[in-house]
Structure 1
Amino acid sequence: MVKKSILKVLRKQQGKNSTLSEIYLNNQFICYGLEDIPRTKKIPGSTSIPLGIYPLGFNKDGGMNGNYYDRFPKLHRGMIEIKDIPAFSYVYIHIGNTHKETAGCLLVGTGYVFEHGDFRLVQSVTAYKKLYGMLVDLLVEGEVFIEVTE
């Protein structure tokens, strides 16, 4: 039997350009998340992930992979990609602090601040390394899904 795990992104608050969430792995709080705001019409790189459940997997292509391999040679096995999102592609979980760094992806941090009408994550690298390590182990063992909800 294939082991299935759920990474839940629970959206909590919205700023002018940012959406703050809490991230749980198998019902255990792990960190905070940051995305762009939801939009009725998608703006590439500036729209949050649509609500839903999507599979996670590794993506080993592209420049971002090279950067992360160089930065985390013992940890990195490929970008964690959120797959099968209608009308979206190359949506990753990655490091960053503000909505300007999301590129339509999900950023992670250990905490957050609210300033100038928007949320900003803190200690993104710490949160990423923790979550990434957990997700790699689970992806090697079985299937992992992400549920984006409010």
Structure 2
Amino acid sequence: MDETKIIRMAAGNNSTLGHLYIGNIFCCYILEDTVRDRKIPGRTAIPAGEYTLGLNTVAGMNARYSSRYASMHRGMVEVRGIPNFSLVFFHIGNYHTDTAGCLLTGSYWQLIDGDYRVLHSAAAYKLVYPLLVEQIEQGNDRMKVINQL
């Protein structure tokens, strides 16, 4: 069974940079909000742990992505079972201000003024989205989030 995991590697002032692996293969960078002991709505990374991935076809973001990525979109890849969080998706974005607790995909990263950002986010998303959907469809719907900060 291929394992999906995010390994968090570095913390900025308001951001967290991680690596997404599917089956022990590095797929892209992940940008999140800051890892905090106490949740601040829209400004906190999901806690380290093990979660379930699923496809959400009803959230508002789904309609935008369905239009934008019509040829491949099957629903937003959602991270489920997170305490005190809901509607956490993999999606495109560049800055920690784009996340609101979600996971942003990136092809490469930069550190600017103490915070990480990811770039070529849409290219990374187009790469990892079908891989994540395939994992879900094959029943490999578990994902680990590991802090190595």
Q: Give the TM-score of the pair, scaled to structure 2.
A: 0.95
The residue number in structure 2 matching 1:59 is 56
- Structure 2 gap ranges (5+): none
**How do 1:33-72 and structure 2 match up within 5 A?**
33-72=30-69
Q: Report the CA distance between 1:78 and its aligned residue.
A: 0.4
Pairs aligned (count) = 147
The residue number in structure 2 matching 1:30 is 27
Deviations 1:47-73 (A, max 9, x none): 001000101000111210000001010
Counterpart-to-counterpart distance in 2, 1:18 and 1:133: 26
Q: Report the CA distance between 1:38 and its aligned residue.
A: 1.1
The residue number in structure 1 matching 2:11 is 14
The residue number in structure 2 matching 1:123 is 120
Q: Give me the identity figure in percent.
A: 46
Deviations 1:79-119 (A, max 9, x none): 00000011111111111111000010111101001101100
Counterpart-to-counterpart distance in 2, 1:54 and 1:40: 18
Counterpart-to-counterpart distance in 1, 2:59 and 2:77: 13
- Structure 1 gap ranges (5+): none
Q: Give the TM-score of the pair, scaled to structure 1.
A: 0.95
**How do 1:46-125 and structure 2 match up within 5 A?**
46-125=43-122
Deviations 1:2-59 (A, max 9, x none): xx43211111111000000111101101010000001121111110010001010001
Counterpart-to-counterpart distance in 2, 1:21 and 1:134: 18
* Structure 1 contact 5–144 (Cα < 8 Å) conserved: no
Runs (4+) off by over 2 Å: none
Question: What is the identity, as a one-letter code, of the residue corresponding to 1:24?
Answer: Y
Deviates more, 1:101-110 or 1:137-146: 137-146
**Counterpart among 130, 133, 142 of residue 133 in structure 1:** 130
Counterpart-to-counterpart distance in 2, 1:39 and 1:141: 33
What SS class does the counterpart of residue 52 from structure 2 fall into? strand
Q: Report the CA distance between 1:143 and its aligned residue.
A: 2.7
What SS class does the counterpart of residue 48 from structure 1 fall into? coil
What SS class does the counterpart of residue 131 from structure 1 fall into? helix
